Chain A
């Protein structure tokens, strides 16, 4: 396939991936890696490198919009970034020693789990009791809501920290933002309000991805000619997606479309991994 055609296919695929990723909040990596490996037969390390770069672009772009609204908890994000970057560096370093077909199967499994996680009902809970560590680390915060400022407390710091190590590890290993896992850690373990956990997770994703991207970059896994259409495509898709999100509030059916697409692609990854084609 000539370069021009190859680039155009990746560009269009990445636009769709960015669009779906921003509408569902899962990020573009979910569709990009299967597209590159299963359909275009690109080496999975190149696919992971390109996905990491696109993750940094979308995370930084949307974080720029979110921080202005004052919902992101900067101290909480910074504190948990210690865990996610440690995990990410470890993941990026061990990724070289793991057989590619195993990476494909693992990615497939994680994609299915994350997609299913987005379907779960979000219950907003505000924790009233104080946690000593949360106070010492100044993690409790507040955010502006329709009827005044909402104060919230953070609980189970240790559990959240360990879960973030794991999320970072997967991000470095597989080149995804692992936003679904980060949100899960903050929602279910640390009991942070959903609005705060999604924006803070997004804020952390860029730094986490950068920590492993510096390793991938020097290994030569970030191939400019593949990353170029991926990063431009995903960013265009994500921009269009965010404009649509402002206009339409509910994206219930879209989540289902996304889950079906991701489960389909993930099964392809797992199948190709098992028969040893990746």
Chain B
């Protein structure tokens, strides 16, 4: 019976609820693992964050994978943070899909526009940095 009624707003709400929950749990677990490793290795050193230090290579997008392979705590934390930032963005993708299923063309447009703004933002941020 439910299948005949097609895709409804309430289905979309439970899917989105799960996307958000899984996103937060996974990313925080990754941050926690990276954090434990970082404290184990660097717990005794003295950091200085009073002035901006520039971008360390192993927390930049292309350096992260090498950092993770070398089990660098900060690279793993950064990967977790990127997953966390991606969570609401994935939520928008899921919203867009559900608007497609509902054939709501106006809101397919609106949610694509939000996605486009975020994508342009990540490109412009890279250029300026």
- Listed in ascending order, the chain A residues whose CB lies under 8 Å from chain B are 1-4, 6-7, 40-43, 45-46, 53, 56-57, 59-61, 63-65, 67-68, 70, 72, 74-75, 78-79, 81-82, 85-86, 88-89, 92-93, 96, 137-138, 206-207, 209-229, 231-232, 235
Contacts and interface: CB of A to CB of B under 8 A. Distances in A.
Given A210-B85, A215-B122, A232-B35, A3 B42 contact: yes
A214 B118 contact: yes
Contact of A82 (B17, B85, B110): B110
A85 B38 contact: no
Contact of A67 (B13, B38, B47, B55): B13
Contacts of A40: 49
19 contacts: A4-B39, A4-B44, A42-B49, A57-B27, A61-B24, A64-B20, A70-B13, A74-B13, A78-B114, A79-B110, A85-B117, A89-B124, A206-B88, A207-B88, A210-B88, A213-B85, A217-B125, A224-B75, A235-B28
A82 B128 contact: no
Contacts of A78: 92, 95, 107, 110-111, 114
Interface string B52-77: 11111001110000000000011101
Contact of B117 (A60, A82, A216): A82
Nearest to B118: A211
Given A43-B52, A82-B117, A224-B59, A3 B46 contact: yes
A213 B84 CA distance: 10
B87 A60 contact: yes
A93 B36 CA distance: 33
B17 A64 contact: yes
B51 interface: yes
Nearest to A69: B13
Contacts of A85: 114, 117-118, 121
B77 to A, nearest CB: 4
A4 B52 contact: no
B13 A3 contact: no
Nearest to A50: B81
A88 B118 CA distance: 10
A224 B31 CA distance: 9
A272 B111 CA distance: 41
Contacts of B77: 224-225, 227-228
B27, B35, B126 interface centre (most CB from chain A within 10 Å): B35
Nearest to A49: B81
A93 B95 CA distance: 27
A92 B24 CA distance: 23
Interface in B85-109: 85-89, 91-92, 95, 104, 106-107
A112 to B, nearest CB: 26
Contacts of A4: 39, 43-44
B35 A228 contact: yes
B24, B34, B77, B122 interface centre (most CB from chain A within 10 Å): B24
A84 B121 CA distance: 13
Given A85-B114, A215-B124, A219-B129, A56 B38 contact: no
